[in-house]
Each structure stands twice: as C-alpha cells, then as structure tokens.
Structure 1
Amino acid sequence: MRPPRGASGAWAPPLLLLLLLWASCRALRAAHPPPPPPPQDAEFTFLLPAGRRECFFQAAPPNGSLELEYQIISGAGLDVDFSLESPSGALLVEEYRKSDGLHTIEPTETGDYKLCFDNSFSTISEKLVFFELIFDSPQEDEDLNSWVEMAEPEEMLDIKIEDIKESIDMVKSRLERSIQMQALLRAFEARDRNLQESNLSRVNFWSAVNLSVLLVVSFLQVYMLKSLFEDKRRVWM
C-alpha cells in the first residue's frame, strides 16, 4: 500500500524547524559556555623512586585559596625535597629534607601550579608520599547564595533563610574538616605502622645474631672446660 501523495512533504517543515532550533541552541551554547566547575579536593599516595623527581600540575581558581599538606609514609629517613611554583614559574615554596609540611596559598594567577617532590639525594631508598589538596573557591559561595536571592520575603517563616544557610555552611565546613583529618590520620597511622614493622625486623635480626653468638660462646666455654679436665699424659707400661 503506497502512502498518499504529499505525506512525506508534510514532515519537512517540522523537521526543518527542529534542525533550526538545534542549531540555534548549539550556537547559543558556544557563545555563552558554562563556567568551569570548581576544582574538587583530592588526595594522592604515590611511590617516589630513589634518585627521581616527580611533579604534579593542578589548576587553582583565582581569588580563592589552596591548602597543601604532604606526609612521607615510608622510606629511609622519611624525608624529601618539596617545591611549589606558580604558573609563571615563580618559586612560592621550597623545602629540603622534610618529612611533612602544610602550606596555604592564595592563587593570583590563572593556570597550573607545579608541585614537585624530589628524592634525587637518595640513591637507594624509595619513598612513599601522601599529599592532599584542599580548595576554597568563591564560586561555591556564589552557588550557595543563589538560592537565597530567589527567596521572597513572604516565604520566610520564624527562622530566617540566612540562619539556615549559616547552619548549613557550619555543618559543611565541619564535615569537610573531618574528612581531611581522617585522611591525615590514615597517613600518620600508615607511617607509624611502617616504622613499627621496620623496627620489628631489626629487633628480630639482632636477636637472632645475639642468640647465635651466645650459642657459639657457650659451646666454646664447654669445650675449654672439658679440655682442662682431660689427662693428656701418656702412661708407660
């Protein structure tokens, strides 16, 4: 059964309208792209080989703050060299042979900040490094304030919306701080456990050495005492 004439042509105007609407949406979106999402807090644990230098790059929003904390979990000496550079190459932080550190900067440049951990002074021991990045972006505060601006005075009850927002901000900051403290406590616990395991292996090794020396000395003493009571004189018949 053939479709009636003109049936396919009836779909042309709506289809053309949809294509024009889709093209206009794409053009409007390209002309006004959405703002990039704020960076999220992150934590990393990596193995830094002996004689190596590892660097990480992280974008930080301007007019905010960046808090960096690092901890050496395991490795001989529990120390590394650390440096932090701005996107223009300016040296912001430089430390030598440190086991941990806490730094807070206020980014004033747009771009990637460079974080470097240097273990080139060690030729044998590798290091297990933990570090955490905490961001405080003004965009987050703008998002929290947007819903307050949409509220009308008639919608306010006995409790003001500002009071609710203040309580939410307090709970949010305390929860974030709890997460950060838990991550740091895990890093401290891992470092202490590695130290205890290393000390345990040393204690076992030197205990075995002392036991071996004690057995050898005991055997020599018994042998020497026995030789004192032996009669080596020959009897002539």
Structure 2
Amino acid sequence: MLRLWCLAIVVFALSTISLGHIIEVQASQKECFFEDLHINDKMTVTYQVGGGGNLDIDFWLADPQGLAIGKHLKQSTGSTSFTAEQDGRYEYCFSNEMSTVADKIVSFNVHGVVYIGEDEAIAPIEREIRNLANGLQAVKDEQEYIVIRERVHRNTAESTNDRVKWWSIIQAIVLFAVVGWQVYYLKSFFEVKRAF
C-alpha cells in the first residue's frame, strides 16, 4: 500500500513538472513575472497564444533598470533569449491591454542556464550533456507549440462543423415550410368555389 502511494505521488510530481505555464490574461490587463539572474546567466522565454481574440499578445522583457531587452507587439508566438549583463531581477510581461473584450490564454516556458565558469573548465561529456539537454528542451517546446496549434485548429473545425450543422437544419426547415406553403397554395388554387 505504501508503494502504491509513493508511486502515485511520483506520477503526480512528474506530471506537474512536465507541464508548461498556462495563464489567462484578462482583457485590458497584463501579467508580469520576475527572474533573479546573475551576470552571464542565460535565459530564454518562449510563448504561444492558445485562445482568445485574434490570438495575439504584447510581450516584453526588461533588465533590472527597466530597459527593454526584447519586445514583441501583437504576436501569436515568440521567443526571446539573452545573457544577463548584470545581477538583478529581470521582468517579463504579457500584456492584453490592447483588447477591451477578449481574454487571452497564453502558454509559456522559461529556460535558464546558470553560468558556471569558462567553457574550458567543463568536461567534454558535460558539455555534450548540456547540448543534449538544450536540444531536448527545444523539442519539448516545439511539441507544446504543436499541441496548442492543434487545439486552436480543432476548436475552429468544431465551430465550423456546428455552424454547418445548424445551417443545414435551418435550410431543411425553410425547405419544408416552402413545400408546405406551395402545396397549400396550389390546392386552394384548384379548388372549385361553389355558390349555394
């Protein structure tokens, strides 16, 4: 029984680790996040808008002094990478202030590499492991992007299917109404009027 509970906890922990961040940015609002970095630390932020409005959002990344490092306006997907040139708190924000009606659903990932020292001090196997880890992270990001795009396309296809279904039902109702009216009209046209 104890093993079953431990297995359940491990599966739950792994499933939460493997998920990216998904947020809902309300209309006319922005959501900001912070990362504390040291000199030569590397950070990458990738994002994808998965729902709402025109599937676009404003994104910017600022250094500790508030100077913009990266800025994307009205983009549905994007990626920004940089190397920290100073210690401090770096801020990145997703802004939906351009929209007054539609909320946006944004999926994003933050990747960081902590600077250890000169590349010569790193063993060749460790360098290869880091390169492999970066490649695996890129594959994971691409898979998450594909999942979000598939969800958007599936929602569009289901919406179109619903519209076609209701349009077909309305056409059938109108057709039966017109046929009924024509039968009634022709029947009354050929009836003989009798006067007593």
The bucket for the TM-score relative to the shorter chain is 0.7 to 0.9
SS of equivalent residue, structure 2 residue 116:
helix
**1:83 paired residue number:** 60
Give the Å deviation of 1:131. 1.0
Q: Deviations over 1:180-236 (max 9, x none)?
A: 3333333333333333333333333333333333333333333333332233x3324
TM-score (norm 2): 0.73
The AA in structure 1 aligned to 2:190 is F
Q: What runs of 5+ residues in structure 1 fail to find an aligned partner?
A: 1-40, 149-161
1:214 aligns with 2:175: yes
Q: Which amino acid aligns with 1:112?
A: R
Q: Which residue of structure 2 lines up, in the alignment, with residue 117 of structure 1?
A: 94
Distance 1:85 1:220, change over 3 A: farther
Distance in 2 (CA, whole Å) between partners of 1:84 and 1:167 is 29
2:108 equivalent to 1:131: yes
Structure 1 residues 225 and 174, CA gap change in structure 2 (3 angstroms)? same
Matches for 1:24-103 after TM superposition, within 5 Å: 43-103=20-80
Structure with larger RCO (C-alpha < 8 A, sep 6+): 2
- The one-letter code of the counterpart of 2:81 is T
1:123 Cα shift? Answer: 2.9
Paired with 1:212 and 1:76, the residues of 2 have a C-alpha distance of: 33
Q: Is the 8 A contact 2:22 2:106 kept in 1?
A: yes
Task: Flag the structure with larger Rg.
Answer: 1
Counterpart residue type for residue 87 of structure 1: P
CA distance in 1, matches of 2:176, 2:37: 64
Identity %: 30
List aligned pairs for 1:172-191, cutoff 5 A.
Answer: 172-191=133-152
- 1:217 corresponds to which letter in structure 2? V
Q: Deviations over 1:43-88 (max 9, x none)?
A: 3101122232221222234213222211111112111222222211
Structure 1 length-normalised TM = 0.62
- The CA deviation at 1:90 is 0.9
